[in-house]
């Protein structure tokens, strides 16, 4: 019996602590195509407000730097949308994202889905990118593309086209304290 840690949607929040036991012998590896389809299906069910491609236009850029940059970007976005006490909000009231790294060896960039809660502040979010140029604060040579994603799996099929069974994603949830996921009292 091996355990496969899957990212799962739970109460509208992406959690990385869901563990599913999968019975398999050592001679039957995980089917990468099935895992990819499950990942795309799961992400496609979520209602993402925006689809983003964030390019650095610089090389080399490490995966650790990308993770740090996304953490800083998440703070900048939430501070601008929700004020200086954004960090006290529960996870359900903050923005969320899931991002995949691509082109790490030659043209590092990220594909991400970003969700703005309750549909409020959507234009403020767009303004941060188009007017305030928040990505250039993080990546001075960088460029970005922002779109409203089509419902379903299309965007996520594109984002995950080069992922493998071992690929990880970067989620805003990993930057939040555990108590941000607590049920309101």
| Listed residue (164, 148, 44) closest to 104, CA to CA | 164
Amino acid 19: pLDDT: 33
Amino acid 82: pLDDT: 95
Amino acid 165: pLDDT: 66
| Listed residue (157, 169, 183) closest to 33, CA to CA | 157
What is the set of domains in the chain, with CATH numbers? 47-178 (3.30.70.1910)
Cα→Cα distances 50→8, 26, 35, Å: 20, 40, 24
Residues 6+ apart with CB under 8 A from 182: 90
Amino acid 118: pLDDT: 78
Amino acid 183: pLDDT: 66
Amino acid 22: pLDDT: 37
Amino acid 9: pLDDT: 38
Amino acid 42: pLDDT: 77
- The span from the CA of 49 to the CA of 118, in Å, is 10
**In which residue are the tokens 């040579």 written?**
141
pTM: 0.77
Averages of pLDDT over each 10 residues, the chain, 185 residues: 36 38 47 77 83 93 94 96 93 92 86 86 93 94 92 76 76 83 65
């Amino acid at each position: 019996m091996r355990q496969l840690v899957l990212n799962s949607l739970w109460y509208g929040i992406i959690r990385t602590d869901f563990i599913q036991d999968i019975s398999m012998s050592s001679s039957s590896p995980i089917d990468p195509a099935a895992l990819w389809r499950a990942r795309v299906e799961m992400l496609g069910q979520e209602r993402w407000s925006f689809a983003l491609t964030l390019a650095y236009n610089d090389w080399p850029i490490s995966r650790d730097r990308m993770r740090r940059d996304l953490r800083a970007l998440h703070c900048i976005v939430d501070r601008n949308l929700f004020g200086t006490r954004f960090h006290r909000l529960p996870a359900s009231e903050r923005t969320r994202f899931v991002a995949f790294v691509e082109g790490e060896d030659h043209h590092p960039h990220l594909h991400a889905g970003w969700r703005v809660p309750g549909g409020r502040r959507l234009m403020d979010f767009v303004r941060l990118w188009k007017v305030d140029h928040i990505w250039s604060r993080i990546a001075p040579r960088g460029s970005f593309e922002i779109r409203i994603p089509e419902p379903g799996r299309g965007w996520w099929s594109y984002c995950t086209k080069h992922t493998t069974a071992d690929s990880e994603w970067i989620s805003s949830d990993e930057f939040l304290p555990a108590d941000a996921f607590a049920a309101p009292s």
